[in-house]
Amino acid sequence: MSERFAEPPQDAWTELSQVEYDDYWATFGSRFGFRAGVSPDAWPAINEPVPSVTFDLGVIADGPQRGAAYDAINAEALRAFVWALPNAELIVLDWQHPAYRF
């Protein structure tokens, strides 16, 4: 089954250029020791700062509601960032997809 996730609203999000993408990833990688990988032997994928919080989304069951659950989690995380950092520029990185500025 293919999962469908909401597209980011284009009026709030701007896709990063390739140069920006590379620059942000270089900074992130040097700061957190990022290691791309999808198998457990590659985890954890970053050196987490202390303090930090990690959420395991693996507990969300497969099925038609999984995409909606991910969208709800993403929306709540964004709401929290916008509330806590109202004047900050947010950069969203995903090693398998385009990156965005909010």
Residue 76 confidence (pLDDT): 93
The H-assigned helical ranges of 1-102 are 18-32, 66-84
**62-88 pLDDT, tens digit each:** 888 888 898 999 899 989 988 999 889
| Bridge partners, residue 91, by sequence | 101
pTM above 0.75, yes or no: no
Contact present, 91 and 101 (Cβ < 8 Å): yes
Rounded (5°) CA angle 43-48-41: 10
In the predicted structure, residue 1 carries a pLDDT above the cut 50? no
Give the tens place of pLDDT for each residue, 11-35: 678 999 999 999 999 999 999 999 8
Residue holding tokens 């791309």?
36
pLDDT at 9: 56
Cα–Cα distance, 40 to 74 (Å, whole number): 23
